[in-house]
Amino acid sequence: MKILLVEDEAEIGDLIKTGLEKEEFSVDYCKDGDSGMEHAMSNSYDAIVLDVMLPGKSGLEILKMVRAGQNNVPIIIITARGETEDRIEGLDLGADDYLPKPFFVEELIARLRAIWRRSSETGMSVLNVGTLSANLMSREVVRSGRQIEMTPKEFSLLAFLMRAPGRVLTRTQILEQVWGYHFDPGTNLVDVYIRRLRSKIDFEGEIPLIETLRGVGYRMQDPDNSEEG
Query: Which residues of this protein are in contact with Ca ion, per CB under 5 A?
Result: 8, 51, 53
Query: Which residue of the chain is nearest Ca ion when measured via CB?
Result: 53
Q: Which is nearer to Ca ion, 53 or 142 (CB)?
A: 53
CA distance 120 to 20: 21
What Rg do the C-alpha atoms of the chain give, in angstroms?
19
Give the C-alpha separation, 39 to 35, whole Å. Answer: 6
Residue 100 or 130: which CB sits closer to Ca ion?
100
Best CA proximity match to 62, nearest among 91, 27, 34: 34
Q: Between 1 and 53, name the residue whose CB sits nearer to Ca ion.
A: 53
CB of 53 to Ca ion, least distance (A): 4
- Minimum separation from the CB atom of position 9 to Ca ion (A): 5
- Minimum distance between the CB of residue 78 and Ca ion, rounded to whole angstroms? 8
β 210-213/47-51 pair status: unpaired
Residue 32 or 222: the one with the smaller Cβ distance to Ca ion is: 32
Question: What CA–CA distance (Å, rounded) separates 83 from 149?
Answer: 29
Nearest approach, Cβ of residue 36 and Ca ion (Å): 11
Judged by CB, which is closer to Ca ion: 105, or 114?
Answer: 105
Residues, the chain: 229
In whole angstroms, the minimum distance from the beta carbon of 226 to Ca ion comes to 51
Is residue 99 within 8 Å of residue 111, measured between CB atoms?
yes
- Minimum separation from the CB atom of position 8 to Ca ion (A): 5
CA distances (Å), origin 69, targets 62, 72, 78: 11, 9, 22
Q: Which is nearer to Ca ion, 86 or 97 (CB)?
A: 86
Closest CB to Ca ion among residues 75, 169: 75
Q: How far is the CB of 95 from Ca ion (least distance, A)?
A: 16
